[in-house]
Amino acid sequence: MILAKKPLSLAEVQHYVKESTEKKPVDEYIKHFTQFSQEKAKKIADNVRKLNNPKITEEDIVKLVDFAPQDAEDLHKIFNQVSLTEEEIAKLLQLVKEK
């Protein structure tokens, strides 16, 4: 039964998969593609939410955390449905690159 529908980053999925018994293929996939720890992914997502930008959806935030874009071209691939200003692009890239 589905109780809620919420997009999850790979780092968040990794947390839930630890509770699964048939996790080996999923675990390998997550280890290969996860860019950040769960704590770092949450911090990035929270900071993006604090921008209160109506152009940025929860799905976009998850993609941002999972793909960790390094430049404006990569960011445009995530936000292909909306037009971001240069300032918005710079701020998002800064949030992803912060250590």
Residue 84 has pLDDT above 90, yes or no: yes
> Does residue 4 fall inside a structural domain?
no
The DSSP letter of residue 36 is S
Could you give the CA distance from residue 42 to residue 99 in angstroms, rounded to a whole number? Answer: 13
Classify burial at 48, counting beta carbons within 10 Å of its beta carbon; exposed 0-12, middle 13-18, buried 19 or more.
buried
> Does residue 83 fall inside a structural domain?
yes
Q: What is the pLDDT of residues 40-58, one digit of tens each?
A: 999 999 999 999 999 999 9
> Does residue 89 fall inside a structural domain?
yes
Instruction: Domain count for the chain, please give it.
Output: 1
pLDDT of 21: 58
> Does residue 41 fall inside a structural domain?
yes
Residue 79: domain span: 10-97
Mean pLDDT for 12-37 is: 77
Mean pLDDT for 60-65 is: 94
pLDDT top residue among 88 and 5 = 88
> Does residue 27 fall inside a structural domain?
yes
> Does residue 36 fall inside a structural domain?
yes
